[in-house]
Amino acid sequence: ETGVTQSPTHLIKTRGQQVTLRCSSQSGHNTVSWYQQALGQGPQFIFQYYREEENGRGNFPPRFSGLQFPNYSSELNVNALELDDSALYLCASSQQGAGYNEQFFGPGTRLTVL
């Protein structure tokens, strides 16, 4: 069974640029959630995708967007990067519709905005 993987592991961008982060969900999982974790803080929920549709969103502006593909992998896109977007971005996969659905997290992508 393959766990959740994310790419790239580290990324450096400048203000105003756009970035795409990728997540491959655990085998058999149909749901992907994205979280932003600033230094010293707990992860903050960005949004969730279930069967290629957005299924809930946290308090993040529209410049944070996502996609989920038929194989349940997912992308997080951030436009017009700001310095405060520097953080660890985590994705988590789970299987909805199968009773209790524990979320399995990937190792994260560390984004630095200069």
Query: For residues 49-68, which are near another protein according to CB under 8 A?
Result: 50, 55-56, 58
Q: From the centroid of its chain, how far is CA 11? A: 14
Q: Do 74 and 57 contact (CB within 8 A), yes or no?
A: no
Which residue among 78, 92, 111, 113 contacts another protein (CB under 8 A)?
92
5 binds another protein per the rule CB under 8 A = no
Minimum distance, C-beta of residue 93 to another protein, in the bound complex (Å): 11
Amino acid residing at 80? A
Minimum distance, C-beta of residue 96 to another protein, in the bound complex (Å): 6
94 binds another protein per the rule CB under 8 A = yes
